[in-house]
Structure 1
Amino acid sequence: MLDIKWIRDNLDEAIKRLNTRGKDFSYLKELVNQDDKRRELIAEVEQLKNKRNVDSKKIGELARAKVDTTELKEEVRQIGDQIKVLDDQIAILDEQIRETLLITPNLPNDFVPVGLTDKENVELYKWGTPKQFYFKVKDHTELGEALGILDFERAAKISGPRFVVDKGLGARLERALIQFMMDTHSEDHGYTEIIPPYIVNEASMYATGQFPKFREDSYQVISGDGAWYLNPTAEVPTINLHRDEIIEGDQLPIKYVSYTTAFRSEAGSAGRDTKGILRQHQFNKVELIKFTQPEQSYKELDYMLKNSEKILQLLKLPYRVVTLCSGDMGFAMAKTYDIEVWLPGQNTYREIGSISNAEDYQARRANIRFKRNKESKTEYVHTLNGSGLAIGRTMIAIMENYQNEDGSITIPDVLVQYMHTTIIK
């Protein structure tokens, strides 16, 4: 969440920068008013506590002198009642302030382009050249069904729409991509492998910014009185590894590559990408997570981007990198790069990964701090997350870019050792 002190000191700038996300954040003025009232009440409580302490000491002195203290004791009791009333008012204001901060997104970084939709994202560069096909190109759905490696009909029978059954070499391709990505990021890029729980608690969802904004997009697990949710992205359990912890500064940056199956209701995507595996309720993903010192986070963001790009380069898949504009960025992010892979079946680039810096926004929500040395005060870390990559979308890109005229799919060279075949036919 944002720092209430920074908002107080920079109210106009905070509203101006947040408004570039396309909404009205003038409600922050009322937030500051509530904080002013809270501070006044706290000061009043402190004065009352000081008076109570003085009077309590006086009661002791009078009692030792055998002087009646009944009236003074009553005054002390009344002061206690006043303090309780004020403490209750402070608690209400604390909760109102907290709720406002929880629904307020991160500040876009100063260098983020201003815009409202993905049409205003800024392309930085392209890698690779889309292949020219001299036959009619098929999309991944047509290819997968014809080869018997993607079964949407039976998946719908088992679960419903937006699910798929991977079969045969389709299942192996998904498994191969997971291992290839985990191997590359751990062995070549220096990340520590993580396979976290797929079920997370409510505190974890609040810590990374999924709640309260995206509650309707989550799947709740009903079991007794517990409030658990299916993991929507490896970012959630992996960031929460260090919730409520103080990290030694010399341990930073901490780099994790985390594999999970993710679950999303796609409540806000009704009618979009309903065909195929581009947007599913359940999907596999390899995620990159970093915890860094503040002054290092943007350098580490650039490294993370290159790490994710390397996967597509090794697979020889054409892609482009864009900087998201302020209105298209995720709720908790200060800056985001999108990697968009070329999909011949759609004749366009589609997002395959997002690489983001949340700065200290998630760290404040999750209370993740570090100390530069034993004598220094604690500071909030910066958290970064990036796709390394989305497995299903990488499968789409391979199937469509490596398709042959007879409907077969050539296996990229780097995956042959995992697939134990050079072609799906």
Structure 2
Amino acid sequence: MLDIQFIRDNPELVKDKSRQKGYQVDVDKLLDIDSKRRDLQSELQELQAKRNAHSDSLSAGKPTAEQIEVGRNIKLQVTELEQKLKPLDEEFDTLLSTVPNMPLDDVPIGDSEEGNVVIKTVGDKPEFNFKPKNHAELAEAKGWLDKERAAKVAGSRFAYLTGDLVLLDWAMNMYALSKLTDESYIKQVAADNSLKVSTKPFTPVQPPAVAKTKVFEATGRLNKEEQTYKLADDDLWLNASAEHVLAPMFLDEIIPADELPIRMVGYTTAFRREAGTYGKDMEGFFRLHQFNKLEMEGFSKPEDAYNEHLLFIAIQEDLFNSLKLPYKVLNKCTADIGLPNARGVDIDVWLPGQNKYRESHTADYMTDYQTRSMKTR
């Protein structure tokens, strides 16, 4: 969540930046609730101090009837104020959670992904003297992809992957892990991109596949209607991305400064409902309800955070270059970066079989927005 003091100091800026991201936020109502809440908190603190002082005064001996009555009245007043404060706290938290992170100044203003701006294009597109097959045609021809049998078992938009395709999937995972866990590799990528960052390697993590509602909400990523699956009999949601269960690993914790940066690479099977996308890009592996992924996640000191963001992007680019895959890097616009992000970069890879670039990687920069919600300090 955003720092409430920042909102108090910059209400018009927050309104403007929220609109740029496509969020209609009632900042005036939030600040009104905030003011009433602070007044009650001040009254409550004064009463609690009075109660404590009264309690201390009774410790010397047996209280009189008058002293007991005074204590009872103070207790009743405290209870009454607490009851008044509770709904204000709840409304305050709800309103504050709707305020998005503020986009950085270099984030292009746009109302859809069409507003994303290409930063650079790398690599030459391969040329063929025949029409190349797309990934689905190749996989189905080789018997590596079976969506028909999967539909009988789990419904539409699931798949059985078999044979060499599974081996390739694991090989790519291990290739990336071998790089990310190698300090000399991190050092080289940082040097190649003139980044003054720690050379600390990434720690591999296999997180839980699910998270509680409160935890998911703290990440700013719970999308009940469009993306996230809910377990019917439990207060648990399936992760839609490794980030959703990696970041809360340090929920409610204070991380010692000398342990930063913390860099994790998590492997998960992710699940997405993909509501509202039926018939859109559903061929092959696209928009499946279940998929596997590796994801980088990190915590750092505020003054180092932006360079960490650039390091993550540089690593993604380096992996593409090592595989000789043409790609382009996009600066995502305000409407496309999401609620908790201050900046987002997509990397789209060239797919000859589709004759176009498709999103493959992303790198999100959230400043202290998510950690404040998770109470990670």
What is the one-letter code of the residue matched to 2:336?
Answer: D
- Asked whether the 8 Å contact 2:157–2:288 carries over to 1, the reply is yes
| Aligned residue in 1 for 2:204 | 193
Is the CA contact 2:23–2:100 (under 8 Å) kept in the aligned structure 1?
Answer: no
Distance in 1, Cα, partners of 2:23 & 2:351 = 33
- Could you tell me how far apart the structure 2 residues matched to 1:200 and 1:49 are? 36
AA paired with 1:15? K
* RMSD (CA atoms): 2.2
Q: Which residue number in structure 2 is paired with residue 239 of structure 1?
A: 247
Give the Cα separation in 2 of the matches to 1:300 and 1:55. 53
**Runs of 5+ unmatched residues, structure 1:** 370-425
The answer to whether the aligner puts 1:83 opposite 2:78 as a matched pair is yes
Cα distance change of structure 1 residues 77 and 353 upon mapping to structure 2, 3 Å threshold: same
Matches within 5 A, 1:179-190: 179-187=174-182, 188-189=185-186, 190=201
Asked if structure 1 preserves the Cα contact closer than 8 Å seen for 2:108 and 2:116, the reply is: yes
Aligned partner of 1:387 in structure 2 is none
State the Cα distance separating 1:269 from its structure 2 match.
2.5
Q: CA deviation at 1:37?
A: 0.3
Contact in 2 for aligned 1:59/1:73 (Cα 8 Å): no
One of 139, 143, 151 as aligned partner of 2:146: 151
Residue 237 of structure 2 corresponds to residue 229 of structure 1: yes
Tell me if the contact between 1:217 and 1:268 (Cα under 8 Å) persists in the aligned partners.
no
TM-score (norm 1): 0.79
Q: Specify the alignment match of 2:30 in structure 1.
A: 31
In 2, are the aligned partners of 1:148 and 1:167 still within 8 Å (CA)?
yes
* Aligned-partner Cα distance in 2 for 1:124–1:250: 35
Q: Are the counterparts in 1 of residues 210 and 237 from structure 2 also a CA contact under 8 Å?
A: yes
Match of 1:41 in 2: 40
- The count of aligned residue pairs is 361
| Cα offset, 1:341, TM superposition | 0.6
- Structure 1 residues 50 and 171, CA, compared in 2 at 3 Å: closer, same or farther? closer
1:209-228 to structure 2, matched below 5 A, reads 209-211=220-222, 213-214=223-224, 217-223=227-233, 226-228=234-236
Q: What SS does structure 2 have at the residue aligned with 1:35?
A: helix
User: 1:203 Cα deviation (Å)?
Assistant: 3.4
Q: Give, in whole Å, the separation in 2 of the partners of 1:30 and 1:3.
A: 16
Conserved 8 A contact 2:225-2:275:
no
**Residues 72/321 of structure 1: CA separation in 2 closer, same or farther (3 Å cut):** same
- Secondary structure of the 2:266 match is strand
Alpha carbons of 1:210 and 1:184: their partners in 2 closer, same or farther (altered >3 Å)? Answer: same
Q: For residues 36 and 238 of structure 1, do their structure 2 counterparts lie closer, same or farther at Cα, with a shift above 3 Å needed? A: same
Amino acid at match of 1:264: R
After the TM superposition, which segments of 4 or more aligned residues of structure 1 sit over 3 Å from their partners? 46-64, 69-76, 213-216
Partner-residue secondary structure (3-state), 1:40: helix
For 1:259, give the aligned amino acid.
Y
Looking at structure 1, the residues matched to 355 and 171 of structure 2 have their Cα atoms a distance apart, in angstroms, of 26
Question: Per the alignment, do residues 273 and 71 of structure 1 end up closer, same or farther by CA in structure 2, a change over 3 Å counting?
Answer: same
Q: Give 1:215 shift.
A: 5.9
Matched, 1:12 2:12: yes
Cα gap change, 1:185/1:51 in structure 2, threshold over 3 Å: closer, same or farther?
closer
TM-score by length of 2: 0.89
Letter in 2 for 1:272: K
The 5 Å alignment of 1:32-71 reads 32-52=31-51, 70=65
**d(CA) in 2 for partners of 1:51 and 1:192?**
51
Stretches of structure 2 that go unaligned for 5 or more consecutive residues are 187-200
Q: RCO higher in 1 or 2 (8 Å CA, sep ≥ 6)?
A: 2
Kindly state the Cα deviation for residue 361 of structure 1 after the two structures are TM-superposed.
0.9
Mapped pair 1:248 → 2:256: yes
Please give the alpha-carbon distance, in whole angstroms, between the structure 2 residues aligned to 1:275 and 1:7.
44
Matched residue type, 2:217:
Y
Retained in 2: the 8 A contact 1:138–1:345? Answer: yes
Of stretches 27-36 and 94-103 in structure 1, the one that deviates more from structure 2 is 94-103
Which has the larger share of strand? 1
Judged with a 3 Å threshold, the aligned counterparts in structure 2 of structure 1 residues 171 and 58 are, in CA distance, closer, same or farther, namely: closer
- State which structure, 1 or 2, has the greater radius of gyration over its C-alpha atoms: 1
Structure 2 residue matching 1:320: 3-state secondary structure: strand
- 1:44, distance to aligned residue in structure 2 (A): 2.1
Over the matched positions of the two proteins, sequence identity in percent amounts to: 38
Q: How does 1:95-110 map to 2 (within 5 A)?
A: 95-110=90-105
